[in-house]
Amino acid sequence: MSGSRTSGSGVYGSRLALAAAAFDGMPGQCAVIDPLGKVLVVNRAWRQFGEDNGADARCGVGADYLAVTARAAATGDPFAGAVLAALTAVLEAHAPRASVSYPCHSPTEQRWFRVHAVPLAGRRDVLIVHDDVTEEIRGQVRVQAQRVRPGSVPVPRSRRPVPPA
């Protein structure tokens, strides 16, 4: 029967396949966690980032995302503490969504990410997306470096002394 709601066939199956393909194609590292922090599903970018950075099973499907984050916070990582607080606020419905930027440097490069936590409509699960914001942060650092130091007065180009010829 056309339009049937049987999984894997008909319109419903096509929509599920489309949703799965869209999730897997997201450029950020995406995971869905349940209300207790268990990772239910991850996308291709999440898996690839894990492979590229030597992640183990503690970061994939079935992992306790909150426990991993809490362990990092317990080591004194202030960013992990902020991420844990933000996730907890969203999971407990104290915040409609949350975002936290954090450094995630590797031995070969300095990089920064922004994690977003958004509850899934009609469910208690939360979508987590880690976006690479390295270029944004580098741009902010460049702008800050170019700013005039407090107390100094920039001299307009037209008033700068001209060197003797």
Distance of CA 133 to the CA centre of its chain: 9
Q: In what order do the strands lie in the sheet with 126-132?
A: 39-42, 29-33, 126-132, 112-119, 98-103
Q: Identify the CA nearest to 98 among candidates 84, 78, 112.
A: 84
> Is 153's pLDDT higher than 90?
no
Task: Output the pLDDT for position 8.
Answer: 53
> What percentage of the chain exceeds 90 in pLDDT?
61
Question: In whole numbers, what is the pLDDT of the chain averaged over residues?
Answer: 85
> What percentage of the chain exceeds 70 in pLDDT?
81
- The span from the CA of 70 to the CA of 119, in Å, is 20
Q: What is the mean pLDDT of residues 48-70?
A: 86
Where are the chain's structural domains? 26-100+115-132
Q: What is the mean pLDDT of residues 58-82?
A: 92
Asked if the 26-100+115-132 domain carries CATH number 3.30.450.20, the reply is yes
- The span from the CA of 7 to the CA of 20, in Å, is 13
> Is 7's pLDDT higher than 70?
no
